[in-house]
Structure 1
């Protein structure tokens, strides 16, 4: 602990961000790194707790608390305070394969359980993490790690999202020959097509994919298992298979008028936008264009926020985001005490941008869409809603009741459904013969074995929609279990 009174002497400083009015004119990252001096002060705020809750990595009341990959946060905070960036990088990479991703797009449950956050703003853990890894690349400290010898064992990984990449990285370093199959034209899974550029520029993803490739991992894109290669062929060619296909089955909105033209799943909107940007800078026209249109996003989560930010960059006429829950409190309530993740009001990047352009937060709370109405050509023209009241019933469960007299009609040319994901897609699982319940592969956490010998599962395909850090956690652990399956024992963490 470099400075015993750092958390008293220094306040938390907000991360640098580009001006909302100017950044919506491009697709570059909206955030910017701190200076070294600022980060040294932020590192000094870490208390080096006897029990560092920041890396406990568990769930309280169904919500992630602390870092699921158990980052050695107090250690690298202290090293940053002392200016020992390379040593900080070494400690960071002990537990995290891809800090450049988590340092940008993780919701930072570590900060929610930071001990400083009991009464003050948390240590700026996420900003410190991002800068450590960025410095590693900038200074040439990160170079290809070529395994000294190979085991002769071959592993196929289906899906190149964070779980698949983490499994691949770990197994490759253990000496196995790893091939990653991806049905899209680019590797990266949700990192490439699920998260828009302004949160995670694709050069960052491509840099990591190229590094993994240099280290010996083979990536096979444009290849769908069950179509271009059968599960049987995969099992014949490889000693083990890991299914890391993610939770790609989007939850649909069962409502009158759902079939109207202009109603889309949120991920279809984000994916086509990113692909068109990468392929042609939007010149190919192969994306959903909201320029000059009224946009409504149904769903109050991060995916919905990304839709808001994307529509703003396309110069939409208006954008509104519907959420079924009430507005969050400004501070923790008595039933949301530390170290639980703070369920409090925040103004995320997309909402800052909407305020800058339209003068107001685009979010509408406690609202339910009753029906979608089309024009004579079948194109969506409006949404009908009603306000809801969240109350406890006689059994003590929360329910939503409609409030009479609060009906409203909203103009809309595009509607994006962002109400979550049900789990992984069934056809692949059926072809493999893998058992699944509620669209989630049956494989015990910590073991990751499916009912098929030699076939494992990890990430959102196994646990359902979750965080990138949980995907990395499961990818690492599944790699350890596959290594044990192949070799009889494993030294992987």
Structure 2
């Protein structure tokens, strides 16, 4: 460990955040990283536990505890503390292809499982990861390293989100020739257009993509496989195909008045803003503007929070976020002990900004939409909402949220953003390849495997497991790459953890 008594001597210190009213003036990342010396101090707090739950990535009570990539957190914290930054980078990238992404957007499952966090504040694993990877770019450790030998095998990957990129990176390192097909105009998938710029500036993605190109990975954009490009052509030209197209069917809200003008899916709202920002600094007006509007966001998760922050940057007149479930407790409950993922109320950056701008938390709990109200011109003008309460279903014994009779009320609004999650794989790509889907409309495979029912076709990421975290997508991409490599070569030495 870095320092045996470090956790007793030093307090946790986070990267400083720009004040909410200042940071909403732009779409830039708003945290100032700690200095190298301060990061060494933070690394000294790591105890190198006998049982490091931070890297466990295991399921406890239906939730992941620790890093799904099994990042060697105690090792690289110790190396950071002893000023061995290059070796820290080597250990970090042994398990994680993209620490420049995860150190910005991951909810830090490692920190939630940190033993220090059982008693006081956890180690700043996420900030230390950020420091290690950014130093590696600065010093040249993260430069391109093309494979010395090529196998002559060709792999096509459909989708350039974190799963597709991880699979591409691994298979290219192995010496296979990899081509990634992306239907959008820019590479990155969810990372590019699903996550706002203030959480992940897009030059960070481009920097890594350029390195992957130098290493030999080919990227083809504006390539909609299944529509513009036939699967039969790919299966003929490539030895293997990996489907990593995400779970992009947004869950709808089927209430009366749904056809009103002014209702959009969150994914379309966020994508349009990022694309316009990158294309023209929002000057082309080719985005769904929230300026001057009373915005209601349906959904209390990360995507809903991103819509809050984006709407405020547009100049919304007000923002409300509807959440079906009750408010989580502010502190761990007795039935949610460490090292389980803490089911506590988190006030994220968007909600912080709404509080600063409008004086109150934008979230309204245990509430859903009963009807979308529209004016005589068919434009959205308000919502009829209803309160919900938890009741046990007599047949299944499960708790369900049901309407509270007589609790209807009205909300004025002229823009609704639906951030209610995703339902699974888009039909057209699954039908084009003929892959089977499971009951959750994800691409079906044997448990623990990535090969589909179609010969030489594999899958990974959200398309395989359903909507999930970037870190899980990277793990799936790595595991799928190993399975593809084994199918091509008869064996594989590709690491998955």
**Structure 1-normalised TM-score?**
0.98
**Structure 2-normalised TM-score?**
0.97
Higher deviation after alignment, 344-353 or 478-487 = 344-353
- 1:444 positional shift: 2.9
What is the CA deviation profile of residues 223-245 of structure 1, one whole-angstrom value per residue up to 9, with x for unaligned ones? 01122210000000000000000
SS in 2 for 1:421: coil
- 1:209 positional shift: 0.7
Q: Which residue of structure 2 lines up, in the alignment, with residue 472 of structure 1?
A: 474
Q: Which residue of structure 1 lines up, in the alignment, with residue 411 of structure 2?
A: 410
Q: Distance in 1 between matches of 2:83 and 2:352?
A: 33
Q: Which residue of structure 2 lines up, in the alignment, with residue 324 of structure 1?
A: 324
- 1:16 positional shift: 1.4
Higher deviation after alignment, 347-356 or 56-65 = 56-65
Higher deviation after alignment, 295-304 or 23-32 = 23-32
Does the CA contact (< 8 Å) of 2:246 and 2:463 recur in 1?
Answer: yes
Alignment of 1:18-417 (within 5 A): 18-393=18-393, 396-417=397-418
SS in 1 for 2:423: strand
Q: Which residue of structure 1 lines up, in the alignment, with residue 425 of structure 2?
A: 424
Higher deviation after alignment, 38-47 or 413-422 = 38-47
From 457, 460, 464, the counterpart of 1:458: 460
SS in 1 for 2:324: coil
- 1:401 positional shift: 3.3
Q: Distance in 1 between matches of 2:446 and 2:250?
A: 24
Q: Which residue of structure 2 lines up, in the alignment, with residue 492 of structure 1?
A: 494
- 1:405 positional shift: 4.4
Answering whether residue 430 of structure 2 is matched by residue 436 of structure 1, we say no
Q: Distance in 1 between matches of 2:168 and 2:297?
A: 36
SS in 1 for 2:269: helix
- 1:163 positional shift: 0.2
What is the CA deviation profile of residues 304-328 of structure 1, one whole-angstrom value per residue up to 9, with x for unaligned ones? 0000000000000000100011111
Higher deviation after alignment, 324-333 or 68-77 = 324-333
SS in 2 for 1:401: strand
- 1:486 positional shift: 0.5
Does the CA contact (< 8 Å) of 1:446 and 1:478 recur in 2?
Answer: no
SS in 2 for 1:94: helix
Q: Distance in 1 between matches of 2:447 and 2:113?
A: 23
SS in 1 for 2:224: coil
Does the CA contact (< 8 Å) of 2:372 and 2:383 recur in 1?
Answer: yes
SS in 2 for 1:370: strand
RMSD between aligned alpha carbons? Answer: 1.2
What is the CA deviation profile of residues 24-58 of structure 1, one whole-angstrom value per residue up to 9, with x for unaligned ones? 01010122211222211211111101111111112
- 1:359 positional shift: 1.3
What is the CA deviation profile of residues 173-210 of structure 1, one whole-angstrom value per residue up to 9, with x for unaligned ones? 00000000000000100100000000000000111111
Q: Distance in 2 between matches of 1:37 and 1:327?
A: 39
- 1:447 positional shift: 2.1
Q: Distance in 1 between matches of 2:139 and 2:447?
A: 38
- 1:90 positional shift: 1.0
Q: Distance in 2 between matches of 1:323 and 1:243?
A: 33
Higher deviation after alignment, 395-404 or 42-51 = 395-404
Q: Distance in 1 between matches of 2:371 and 2:335?
A: 35
SS in 2 for 1:76: helix
Does the CA contact (< 8 Å) of 1:86 and 1:141 recur in 2?
Answer: yes
- 1:83 positional shift: 2.1
- 1:396 positional shift: 4.2
SS in 2 for 1:107: coil
Gap runs ≥5 in structure 1: none
Q: Distance in 2 between matches of 1:247 and 1:351?
A: 26
- 1:392 positional shift: 3.8
Q: Distance in 1 between matches of 2:449 and 2:132?
A: 32
Does the CA contact (< 8 Å) of 1:146 and 1:173 recur in 2?
Answer: yes
